Structure 1
Amino acid sequence: MQVNLQYGDGDVAVEIPDDSVVIREGIVHEPTPLADPDRATREAIARPLGMPPIGDLVGPGGTVTISFPDRVKGGSHVTAHRRLAITAVLDELAAAGVRDRDITLVCAIGLHRKNRPEEWAEYLGADLLERCAGMRVVNHDAEDPEGMIDLGESSLGDPVQVNRAAVEADLSVLVGHASGNPYGGYSGGWKMPATGLTSWRSIAAHHAPRTMYRPDFVPATPHGRFREQLRAIGERMEEHLGGRFLAVDAVLDSRSRQLAVAAGAISEVERASWPLAAQRTDVELDGDPFDVLLLGMPRTFHYGPGMGSNPILMMQACGAAIVRAKAALVRAPIVIAASICDGWFNDADFPSYRPAFDLLQAVDHPRDMVQFHDQLSTDEGLVSRYREDYGYHPFHAFSMVYMGGVALDQTQAVVIAGAERPDLARAMGARTAPDVESALGHAAALLGRTPRVLCVPQLTAPAFHPRMAG
C-alpha cells in the first residue's frame, strides 16, 4: 500500500507492505466529546471529589494560585479546557469574595520555554487575559531564587524544589489534562505539579536513567516507579501547602475536546479520569506483534520548531514512540523514522542542545550523560536563555537524550530514512538509509523475511497506545 508520511516541512509518499497497520485518527471509535464542556466543567468544580467546594476553602482576604499547562498540549480553541476551567474557577472565587489582586495564575512550563508576550492571548484567549488584568499572570521560573522554595526531599528521597506561589497560597488549583503520555502513562494528576512547577533537580530525579531505564517504564504505564515519584513529590508539596491541591482535569480526545471533567483531590481525580483516558488512548490490534515501527516525522511538533531536524529531539521522538507502542511490538523491534535530520538545532528555542550533543559524543551510552548534569544545567549563559530569552532550560536536553537511549536499548535498530545529515543521525546511535523503502529492505534483510509493519504516519497527531488483543 502507499501511505504519506510526515517528513520535514511536508510529506513523502512511501510503499509499505499491504498487511501493514496504520495508526491514525479513526482507527478506533473514540468516546463522544461533551456537548457542553463549559457546563460539565462548572458542575465538576461545584462538587469536587474528596474536597469541599471552593467557597468553603477560601474567602475574602484569601490568596489563590491557579496553575495551568503550557501550549505543548491541550489546544488553543475557544472551548479548550484550560480556558474553560480557569474561567469557571475565577467565577467561583469571585462568588467567594476573593479579590483579583490576591489571585496568581502560573503557567506550569516546568523546563519548557516561557510564553512570549503575544502568546498569552493566543492560547488563553484575549477575553480571559483581559479579565485577569488585575491579577498576577506569570510563567513558572524554575531558576527564580525568590519564586522557588526548597522543601527538602520526598518520601522516596527525591529533591522537592517548587514554585513558592503554588504551595504558599490559601488555595492552590491545578488545571490539567488526562491524556496519553510516554512519561508516566498520562498527563495531569500528580504529574502536573511534579513536572510543571518544580526545578531541574527535582525533574532530574525521574527524567533520568535510574527511572527511565527501569523495566517498568516501558511500555507506557501510570503504575511504575516514575509515577510513584511524581506522587511522592506532589504529596510533599501538599504537606507544605497545609491542605490538598484542587485538581481540575479533563480527559481529552484526539482533537483536544473534553470527554469528561473531574475536579477535587488529585488521587480521586486520577481514579475518575484514567479509565476513560485509557479508553481514548489504548488501541487493541489483532494478529502477531509487529517487527517494525514506521514513523513519519515533521520538522515541527510537540516541543516546537526543529524537533524533527534536531538530532537529539529526533531520537527522543523515536523513544517516545517505542514507549507508547511497545505492547504491540516484538521484543526487539526495528524503528524506521522518515526524518529530514538536516542539522537545524533551532538554537533559539533549544540553546543547550548543541553543547549536549557534543558532550554525548564523549560517552559510550546516553546514561553516562548524568556526569554532565551540573556542568550544563547550571551554565549561567544557558540558564539566562531560559529565564530571559524564551529558551528551554538546559536540563531539558538531558531528559530528551535519555528517551533517545530508550529507543536504542529497546530496539534491534533505529534507522533514520532520508536524513540530509546522516552523520548526525549516526552520531545519535542510529543507522541511516536514503529512503523508507531502502530502510524496509534493510529490515527485511535483518529479519530474513518481509516485516510486519506498524505505521504512525503523523507524529503531530495525538498519540495512541497500541497493544495486541488478548
Structure 2
Amino acid sequence: MATVEFDAGARRQALTLPDGATVLEYVEQPATGEAGALVDRALDAPLGLPPLRELAATLPRGGRRVVIAFDDPNRPLATIRAVLPAVLGRLNAAGVGDEDITLVSANGMHPKFSREAFAAYLGPDVLERFGGRVRNHDCEDVDDLVDLGATEFGDVVQVNRHAVESDLLIYVGNVAVNIWGGYSGTGSVVGLAGVRGFAGHHGRHGIGHPDSCHGDPHAMLYQRRKRAVAAVIDRARPRPVLYVEAMTDGRGVVDVFAGTSDRIRAAAWPEADRRFVRPAAPADVVIVGLAPAFLYGPAHNPLIALTGVCFPLRLWRGQPLLRPGGVVIGVTDSLGVVDAATHPGYEEAIAEFGVARSFETVAKAGSRIGGDAALVARYRAGSAYHPWHPFWLFAEDEYGMTRAGAIIMAGARPGMLWQQLGCVVAATPSDALAQARGLVGAEARIVALPTYWSKPRIAFQVG
C-alpha cells in the first residue's frame, strides 16, 4: 500500500491506495530552449508563412490594421508575457505604429476582463500604451461580428469583425492537453466566435459526439469541425492568420511554434505527445484531485467540479481509460454552490437535468436559458459567463456521466445541486474508495490523478 497526497481544493488530502494502484502525474522535462530565444526562432521562421517582419512590411500603406488576438487571461500568463513584446517589436520595426494595432482578448463566452485584469495579464505598460485599443470580444455584439457562411459540417461561422477585416491577424495562444480537440490551439475559432457560431461544434453533436469523446487529435470529430471553421476564416481574409502558440508547464514556456494552423499542428503535436501523454491501463476506479479553481472558475461550483472529474476520462487513446460502469472519485472541498452573478444559467441548467435526467432535454433547454435576456445582460455587463456556457459543459461531461456507474465527490459539502447532477457525496476519500470498491469489487484496478489540475494536464495511452 502507498499513501498519496491529493489536491482537495484549498488543502491536500492523504489517501492510502491498495497495492497495484497506478499514480499518474505530469513529469517535468527540460524546455526546448530559453523562452525569448524560442519566441524569436518561431517569429523569424514561421511554418508556412514569411517572417513576421516581412509580413508586416508588405501591409498596405496609409491604413494598416493589425489585430493581435490572444487567449483570454484564464490561460497561462507565461505565454503572453513571452510572445507579445517580441510581436510588437517586430511590427514597430516594420513601420507599423501602435495606433494601427488593436489587442483583442478572445473571450468566447467567458467573462469580459477588467482593466485591472488586463494590466495583470498583459502588463501595466502595455495597457497604458494601447489604452482603449485593448478590447474584450463580445459574442453578442452584432455590430462587431461578421457572418462568413457555414462549414461543410453546417456549422455557422460568425466571427469578430475587427479580426476578419484586419490586414494582418496574429493570434497568440497555447498548445495544451484539452478535450476540446485533444490539444488546444487555433483559438480564433472559439475565442472570437459570435453566439451563433458555437452551437455546432460545442453542442452534443460536436463535442458530445462519440467520435469526439477520446484524446486523439488526429481522429477527433471536434478537431475536424474546428479546422473547417478556421479554413473559412482564412479564406475570408487577405492573408492567413499567423498563429503563435506556446507550450507551458509550471515553470514557464517550454516550446513555441508559429505559422499557419495546419503547419503548427504537424510540428507541435508530436512534441506535445512526448511531453504530455502517459501510458495507462484500463481502470475500474479513477480518482482525481481537484484544485481550488480550474477551467471555468472555482470548484465550489458543482458543475465545474463535475467537469473536473469527467475531463480526464475523455483523454484516452487506444482504449478508454475508465471501464464501463466504473467509478470516478473527485477529491475536493467543494461547497456545491453556484455564484449566479458570475455563472448565470448554471443553476437553471442543473435544475433542468435534475428533473429530466436527460442530456437531450437539457440541450433543448439551451436556447431558452442561454437566450434569456436578463442572463445575457449579465454576461454583456462584464465579469460573468454567457448563460449558454453550462450547456457546453453538459455536452462535454455526458461521456463521463454516462460511462461511469457512479461519480463520488469526496469531501464535498452535501447539497441539492449534487443530487440534481446525479453525484454521490462521501465524507472522506477513504470512504469514497470503500464505496467504489464495494460497487466494482475489492480487486478493482485504480488509476489516481492526484495533481491533475495543479500541474499541466496529461493524456493517456491506454493498453
Question: Which residue of the partner structure matches residue 396 of structure 2?
Answer: 403
SS at match of 2:113: coil
Moved more, 147-156 or 209-218: 209-218
1:153 to 2:146 alignment: no
1:237-268 deviations in whole A, cap 9, x for unaligned?
1121132101111222x316323222111111
One-letter amino acid of the structure 2 residue matched with residue 320 of structure 1: F
Residue of structure 2 aligned with 1:123, choices 110, 121, 137: 121
Shift of 1:327: 4.0
- CA pair 228-386 structure 1, distance change in 2 beyond 3 A: same
Task: Give the unaligned 5+ runs of structure 2.
Answer: none
Shift of 1:59: 5.1
CA RMSD of aligned residues (A): 2.0
Question: Which residue of the partner structure matches residue 65 of structure 1?
Answer: 67
Question: Which residue of the partner structure matches residue 161 of structure 2?
Answer: 164
1:260-275 alignment runs, 5 A limit: 260-275=255-270
One-letter amino acid of the structure 1 residue matched with residue 5 of structure 2: N
Distance, in Å, in 1 between the alignment partners of 2:392 and 2:278 is: 27
One-letter amino acid of the structure 1 residue matched with residue 400 of structure 2: A
Distance, in Å, in 1 between the alignment partners of 2:46 and 2:311 is: 33
SS at match of 2:264: helix
Question: Which residue of the partner structure matches residue 316 of structure 1?
Answer: 307
1:379-394 alignment runs, 5 A limit: 379-394=372-387
One-letter amino acid of the structure 2 residue matched with residue 366 of structure 1: F
Question: Which residue of the partner structure matches residue 460 of structure 1?
Answer: 454
Residue of structure 2 aligned with 1:88, choices 86, 89, 97: 86
Q: When the two structures are superposed, what TM-score results if normalisation uses the length of structure 2?
A: 0.92
Residues 341, 424 of structure 1: 8 Å contact kept: no
Question: Which residue of the partner structure matches residue 200 of structure 1?
Answer: 195
Residues 341, 421 of structure 1: 8 Å contact kept: no
Distance, in Å, in 2 between the alignment partners of 1:423 and 1:136 is: 45
Distance, in Å, in 1 between the alignment partners of 2:82 and 2:430 is: 46
Distance, in Å, in 1 between the alignment partners of 2:342 and 2:362 is: 21
1:216 to 2:218 alignment: no
Task: Give the unaligned 5+ runs of structure 1.
Answer: none
Question: Which residue of the partner structure matches residue 354 of structure 2?
Answer: 361
Question: Which residue of the partner structure matches residue 101 of structure 2?
Answer: 103
SS at match of 1:67: strand
Distance, in Å, in 2 between the alignment partners of 1:216 and 1:256 is: 34
One-letter amino acid of the structure 2 residue matched with residue 452 of structure 1: R
- CA pair 346-10 structure 1, distance change in 2 beyond 3 A: farther
One-letter amino acid of the structure 1 residue matched with residue 243 of structure 2: A
1:339 to 2:332 alignment: yes
SS at match of 1:15: strand
Distance, in Å, in 2 between the alignment partners of 1:268 and 1:109 is: 25
Residues 322, 404 of structure 2: 8 Å contact kept: no
Distance, in Å, in 1 between the alignment partners of 2:324 and 2:373 is: 43
Residues 314, 341 of structure 1: 8 Å contact kept: yes
Question: Which residue of the partner structure matches residue 322 of structure 2?
Answer: 329
Distance, in Å, in 1 between the alignment partners of 2:320 and 2:36 is: 36
- CA pair 25-355 structure 1, distance change in 2 beyond 3 A: same
Question: Which residue of the partner structure matches residue 14 of structure 1?
Answer: 15
Residues 284, 322 of structure 2: 8 Å contact kept: yes
Residue of structure 1 aligned with 2:239, choices 243, 250, 264: 243
One-letter amino acid of the structure 1 residue matched with residue 214 of structure 2: P
1:81-109 deviations in whole A, cap 9, x for unaligned?
21222211111111221122211111111
Distance, in Å, in 1 between the alignment partners of 2:342 and 2:139 is: 17
Q: When the two structures are superposed, what TM-score results if normalisation uses the length of structure 1?
A: 0.91
Question: Which residue of the partner structure matches residue 49 of structure 1?
Answer: 47
Residues 307, 397 of structure 2: 8 Å contact kept: yes
Question: Which residue of the partner structure matches residue 302 of structure 1?
Answer: 295
Residues 33, 254 of structure 2: 8 Å contact kept: no
Distance, in Å, in 1 between the alignment partners of 2:70 and 2:434 is: 46
Shift of 1:412: 2.3
One-letter amino acid of the structure 2 residue matched with residue 204 of structure 1: A
